């Protein structure tokens, strides 16, 4: 395992310090003494990325696609070594890690396909109209190009799919942007294994030195240096509101501001309409409990707020939820800080006298997360912004409304969200319509009779949403369109054909994707 | 002429203050005592826009298109009244105003067509795959929706095409966003005439109260209040770097940041290759002089930097340019502040001992702008960031290079630009290729053998570019794609068909624009 920083095709460990990944289940340092990146190493990585950009953005799509698929193969070839390291560093089960590995490789192959199809270039041509009056129209040809070096911050809860070779990296590399990954302190070993794969894939497929770098971080400083570097052109981040907002602010206060796409907090409200609750309590309960507790609730799409009408059937559903949650064995959380914040969040909710907490399968081991439901009435919820905050972990807050009008009030009171969900019968569709009309202003994805967890990686996916779900609701972090965060249009006016090889290569393709 | 603020369908003048537009040619107040907007009026306008958004975004495209074309008709019907007021407020010639009026109306009709075609919705459908293993795929349907109320700041130099009913307003209304225009202090009367047309068009075509408002500004404060209002969702601005950056910073420091698209400064470098200069000096000279002095140089695409090899032919070109510029009659500038800044900018360049200034048709009347060329060698230019700054007005700086290698150094030294231009012969295409490879990183549009002025309003146009040309190089302020600044995607998962009327309406269209 490489414990140095990977700067292009070079390994570097200038610092005399060492940092270690921790096994959260046993609270012990794992093998691997990693070198944190120095300021000079940060600078070299970005300088190399800038030089690489000039070559990489012009490499033909077929070869970029090969690079991406080689990364996927390399990750698969790591086999058990990777799977075990991920499990050690995260406390996740083998099943969970295998699902995430598959998702990561599928995502890389999807972006390989996307690159080759060239649709992302949005080629648009206005042909010259030399005879037009009062003024002729020039020949205009528009094409998307890569914005430049992109910094990717690895996410604590997705050590593979949103980290070193995750969605941000895959989409940025597909766009033609070199990537510098800032490893997450919690999974330095996972990062090292995957970063080595990417470095090898880059060498084997003839990519330029600097197309990928991986830096180990010593807290906040490395990240700040990366975002503030004058050659950095964009940033991808998945994590907390606090962390995302700090990076966003940094990116904007630069002499030359850059786009920082941060996917941050969300409480993912689930609206439970009364007839549906009456008919399907058992099914809703199992669906929700799984969605709340899967991976110990450490999903950004975990349903953190449930909204229902306060009646006999809802009380029955609450009893079912409480009983089922109590059966969930407390599981180890990703790291000490996340476990600490989870307990702090639960304690803060508990401190509100208006909130009733369900009996939990509580534990004294602070690294474990015990699944928990809290209940509050809608008046109190609307009046108390603290209860609107995300509690990251296996926790959900049931908000009880007097009637449907109050359910609409609750919807109106909510912040921006990654998702909103409505559970309803066919007889309740008019109500669904009203809720949707509110939540369309606030959420990136709206789900009917399902749960918010399970984010499909596909063309029609939106994983983002109004602030604080993301820093820019016009983009998505997941799915084909994620590539658009790293692209900008350039128009060529009256250019000789020979100087526009990219247009010609694409125009020659059968079924070329040119806009009319 | 309405001198009050227009707040939806209501006229309001709470303030006892009055503000006036000034005729720059005669430095006298023009008729019309306008009420500046109070804080309460700002709040009411945004509140109304928010309410209107909920209705307006769901209005069918055909009716929105009718609204936009009604505005175009209304502007045309104002006839001479509007043309004369624009001339008085700007000092522009009638010919110039007529061109801008045509451009404005064409733009409104273009967005009417765009709305109806629905391509901007980017409808994308992933059909359900219930049999897929290991997990079924849900039905996912993605559609773009309007982000919410948009603030448009009227631009000093385009009182029609980038102001009240200009590109920002037309694209935002097309996207389904209500618009609040902050009138420019210099053309309050032009704004009032056009705003009344928009208000009437909204009433006549059944648009909701609040879909459009127009507020008169008392300097910076009204703008700040509009950007900071919690219900504001986006901002469009065309103007100075200082003004644009201030609004951008405001938008980002909000509790909930919003996109501020500011199109700001650019020096629009023109690279003149030696064989071309030797062959076509006369033609280049006339093209450039027109481009530098049209509308008294008050275009954001005015060529502010010319880059050539220092040789006999270039000295001949300089002599031609100087002689032709000296024949241009000094013309009145848009307002006192712009004239002041122009003279300040020229004086600052003049103060640099390394710069030689051409003889100008100078004048003592500070409201007039005299066309002027300055000459500096490339070493000095590269070393002096002050010379890289835009001087807004009929001025250009010729940068003389020792050789082509130094011309590439000059290109590398430049900031982000709206445009870059190369003038070259067919024999010089390899050099064009090298320059293009640098300027593609820095410019939104690259022109071959032309001039940067003349921005086509069409599908393939990019009017934007890396900072400081704009605050976000991924978008354009002109052309079909300008609508994308005001749209965000929402994905519907497993939704009953009856609840997605917009999809069905679009799917039923012949040649529907659905992505594969």
What does B394-461 look like in DSSP terms, one character per residue?
Answer: SEEEEEEESSHHHHHHHHHH---EEEEEEE--GGGHHHHHHHHHHHTTTEEEEEESS-S-----STT-
Domain ranges of chain B: 5-264+472-507, 270-448
Question: Could you identify the residue written with the tokens 């083998």?
Answer: A94
Six token digits for residue B314: 């270039």
For residue A312, give the DSSP letter. H
Residue B490 at interface with chain A, using a CB cutoff of 8 Å = yes
What residues in B contact A95, CB-CB < 8 Å?
none
Which among B252, B493, B499 is the nearest to A429, CB-wise?
B499
DSSP for A366-421 reads: TTEE--EEEEEEHHHHHH-GGGGS---SSEEEEEEESSHHHHHHHHHH---EEEEE
Helix residue spans in B178-219 (DSSP H): 188-204
Which among B447, B459, B485 is the nearest to A493, CB-wise?
B447
> Is the CATH code 3.40.50.2020 the one for domain A7-264+473-507?
no
Question: Could you identify the residue written with the tokens 């994707």?
Answer: A513
Q: Which of A424, A388, A173, A156 is nearest to A274 (CA)?
A: A424
CB A45 within 8 A of CB A181: no
Torsions phi, psi for B124 (to 5 deg): -135, 130
Six token digits for residue B414: 């430049």
Which among B138, B460, B490 is the nearest to A124, CB-wise?
B460
Q: Is A99 left (phi over 0), alpha (psi -120 to 50) or beta?
A: alpha
In the predicted structure, residue B234 carries a pLDDT above the cut 80: yes
In the predicted structure, residue B358 carries a pLDDT above the cut 90: no
A401 Cα distance to chain centroid: 32
Pairwise CA distance, residues B104 & B134, whole Å = 55
Residue A516 confidence (pLDDT): 40
A248/B257 touch (CB, cutoff 8 Å), yes or no: yes
Q: Can you give the pLDDT of all 516 residues of chain A as single tens digits?
A: 999 999 999 999 999 999 999 999 999 999 999 999 999 999 999 999 999 999 999 999 999 999 999 999 999 999 999 999 999 999 999 999 999 999 999 999 999 999 999 889 999 999 999 999 889 999 999 999 999 999 999 999 999 999 999 999 999 999 999 999 999 999 999 999 999 999 999 999 999 999 999 999 877 899 999 999 999 999 999 999 999 999 999 999 999 999 999 999 899 999 999 999 999 999 999 999 999 999 999 999 999 999 999 999 999 999 999 999 999 999 999 999 999 999 999 999 988 888 888 866 666 677 888 999 999 999 999 999 999 999 999 999 999 999 999 999 999 999 999 999 999 999 999 999 999 999 999 999 999 999 999 999 999 999 999 999 999 999 999 999 999 999 999 999 999 988 887 787 776 665 555 544
Residue A446 at interface with chain B, using a CB cutoff of 8 Å = yes
Helix residue spans in B57-144 (DSSP H): 61-90, 94-117
Pairwise CA distance, residues A161 & A183, whole Å = 13
For residue A455, give the DSSP letter. -
| Chains A, B: CB pairs < 8 Å | 186
Residue B512 confidence (pLDDT): 56
With b meaning 16 or more CB within 10 Å and e meaning fewer, what string describes B380-406?
ebbeeeebbbbbbbbbbbbbbbeebeb
Residue A515 confidence (pLDDT): 46
For residue A240, give the DSSP letter. -
Alpha-carbon gap: A142 to the closest alpha carbon of chain B (Å): 5
Six token digits for residue A196: 């080595």
**Dihedral, B181, B187, B188, B191 alpha carbons, nearest 10:** -50
A142/B441 touch (CB, cutoff 8 Å), yes or no: no
In the predicted structure, residue B511 carries a pLDDT above the cut 60: no
Q: Is B396 left (phi over 0), alpha (psi -120 to 50) or beta?
A: beta
Please provide the average confidence, as pLDDT, over all residues in chain B. 95
Torsions phi, psi for A443 (to 5 deg): -125, 150
Pairwise CA distance, residues A476 & B485, whole Å = 15
For residue B208, give the DSSP letter. P
Residue B516 confidence (pLDDT): 40
Residue A360 confidence (pLDDT): 67
In the predicted structure, residue B352 carries a pLDDT above the cut 60: yes
Alpha-carbon gap: B47 to the closest alpha carbon of chain A (Å): 15
Residue B509 confidence (pLDDT): 65
A494/B448 touch (CB, cutoff 8 Å), yes or no: yes
CATH of B5-264+472-507, one of 3.40.605.10, 3.40.50.300, 3.30.365.10, 3.20.20.60: 3.40.605.10
What residues in B contact A441, CB-CB < 8 Å?
54, 148
Nearest CA in chain A to B486: A474
* B514: confidence class by pLDDT, cuts 50, 70, 90: low
Residue A471 at interface with chain B, using a CB cutoff of 8 Å = yes
CB B480 within 8 A of CB B171: no
Six token digits for residue A502: 């990219």
**The Cα angle at residue A511 between residues A505 and A516, in degrees rounded to 5:** 90
Exposed/middle/buried for residue A294 (C-beta within 10 Å: 0-12, 13-18, 19+) = middle
* Number of Cβ atoms within 10 Å of the Cβ of B103: 20
For residue A211, give the DSSP letter. S
Residue B34, strand partner residues: B19
| Residue of A103, A493, A507 for testing the chain B interface, max B β-carbons within 10 Å | A493
Which among A441, A461, A471 is the nearest to B140, CB-wise?
A461
Residue B515 confidence (pLDDT): 46
Pairwise CA distance, residues A326 & A314, whole Å = 18
Residue A361 confidence (pLDDT): 63
Q: Which of A124, A481, A252, A282 is nearest to B481 (CA)?
A: A124
Structural element, H or E, at residue A443? strand A443-448
- Residues of B with catalytic roles: 263, 300
Pairwise CA distance, residues A406 & A396, whole Å = 19
- Residues of A with catalytic roles: 263, 300
Q: Is B168 left (phi over 0), alpha (psi -120 to 50) or beta?
A: alpha
> Coil, strand or helix: which one is A214?
strand
Pairwise CA distance, residues A36 & A30, whole Å = 16
With b meaning 16 or more CB within 10 Å and e meaning fewer, what string describes A377-414?
bbbebbeeeebbbbbbbbbbbbbbbeebebbbbbbeeb
* B1: confidence class by pLDDT, cuts 50, 70, 90: very high
* Cis amide prior to A134 (ω within 30 degrees): yes
> Coil, strand or helix: which one is A451?
coil
Torsions phi, psi for B294 (to 5 deg): -60, 135
Nearest CA in chain A to B139: A460
Pairwise CA distance, residues A390 & A396, whole Å = 9
What does the radius of gyration of chain A's CA atoms come to, in whole angstroms? 24
Residue A454 at interface with chain B, using a CB cutoff of 8 Å = yes
CB A190 within 8 A of CB A274: no
Residue B481 at interface with chain A, using a CB cutoff of 8 Å = yes
CB B237 within 8 A of CB B261: yes
Residue A353 confidence (pLDDT): 80
Six token digits for residue A314: 């809802």
Mean pLDDT confidence for B328-333: 92
Residue A244 at interface with chain B, using a CB cutoff of 8 Å = no
What percent helix, strand, coil does chain B show, rounded to 5?
45, 20, 35
Residue B220 at interface with chain A, using a CB cutoff of 8 Å = no
Helix residue spans in A91-240 (DSSP H): 94-117, 167-175, 188-204, 220-228
DSSP for B137-166 reads: BPPEEEEEEE-S-EEEEPPSS-TTTTTTTS
As a CATH number, domain A270-448 is 3.40.309.10
B474/A138 touch (CB, cutoff 8 Å), yes or no: no
| Residue of A253, A457, A474 for testing the chain B interface, max B β-carbons within 10 Å | A474
ipTM of this complex prediction, to 2 decimal places? 0.97
* B45: confidence class by pLDDT, cuts 50, 70, 90: very high
Residue A419, strand partner residues: A445
């Amino acid at each position: 395992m490489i414990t140095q920083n990977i700067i292009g095709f070079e390994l570097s460990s200038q610092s005399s310090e060492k940092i270690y990944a921790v096994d959260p289940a046993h609270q012990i340092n794992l093998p691997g003494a990693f070198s944190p990146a120095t300021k000079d190493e940060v600078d070299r990585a970005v300088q190399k990325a800038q030089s690489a950009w000039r070559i990489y953005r012009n490499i033909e799509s077929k070869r970029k696609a090969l690079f991406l698929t080689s990364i996927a193969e390399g990750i698969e070839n790591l086999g058990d070594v990777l799977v075990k390291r991920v499990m050690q560093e995260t406390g996740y089960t083998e099943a969970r890690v295998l699902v995430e590995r598959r998702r990561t490789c599928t995502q890389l192959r999807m972006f390989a396909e996307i690159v080759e199809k060239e649709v992302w270039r949005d080629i648009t041509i206005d042909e010259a109209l030399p005879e037009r009056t009062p003024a002729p129209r020039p020949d205009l040809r528009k094409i998307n190009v890569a914005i430049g070096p992109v910094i990717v911050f690895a996410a604590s809860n997705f050590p593979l799919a949103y980290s070193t070779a995750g969605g941000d990296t895959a989409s940025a590399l597909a766009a033609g942007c070199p990537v510098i990954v800032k490893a997450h302190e919690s999974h330095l070993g996972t990062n090292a294994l995957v970063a080595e794969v990417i470095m090898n894939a880059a060498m084997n497929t003839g990519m330029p030195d600097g197309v990928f770098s991986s830096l180990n971080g010593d807290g906040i400083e490395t990240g700040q240096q990366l975002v503030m570097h004058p050659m950095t052109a964009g940033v991808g981040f998945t994590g907390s509101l606090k962390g995302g907002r700090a990076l966003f602010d940094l990116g904007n206060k630069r002499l030359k501001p850059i786009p920082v796409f941060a996917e941050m907090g969300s409480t993912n409200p689930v609206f439970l309409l009364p007839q549906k609750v009456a008919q399907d309590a058992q099914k809703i309960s199992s669906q929700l409990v799984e969605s709340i507790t899967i991976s110990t609730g450490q999903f950004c799409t975990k349903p953190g707020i449930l909204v229902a009408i306060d009646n006999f059937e809802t009380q029955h559903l609450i009893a079912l939820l409480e009983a089922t949650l109590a059966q969930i064995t407390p599981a180890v959380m990703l790291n000490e800080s996340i476990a600490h914040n989870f307990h702090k969040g639960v304690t803060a909710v508990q401190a509100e006298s208006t909130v009733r907490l369900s009996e939990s399968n509580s534990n004294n081991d602070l690294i474990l997360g015990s699944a928990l439901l809290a209940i509050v009435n809608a008046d109190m919820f609307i009046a108390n912004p603290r209860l609107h905050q995300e509690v990251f972990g296996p926790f959900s807050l049931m908000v009880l409304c007097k009637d449907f009008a109050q359910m609409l009030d609750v919807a109106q009171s909510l912040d921006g969200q990654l998702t909103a969900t409505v559970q309803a019968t066919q007889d309740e569709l008019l109500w669904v319509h009203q809720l949707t009309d509110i939540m369309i202003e606030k959420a990136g994805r709206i789900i009917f009779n399902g749960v918010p967890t399970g984010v499909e990686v596909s063309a029609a996916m939106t994983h983002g949403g109004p602030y604080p779900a993301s820093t820019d609701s016009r983009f998505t972090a997941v799915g084909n369109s994620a590539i658009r965060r790293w692209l900008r249009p350039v128009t060529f006016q009256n250019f000789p054909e020979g100087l526009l090889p990219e247009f010609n290569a694409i125009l020659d393709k059968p079924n070329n994707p040119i806009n009319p």
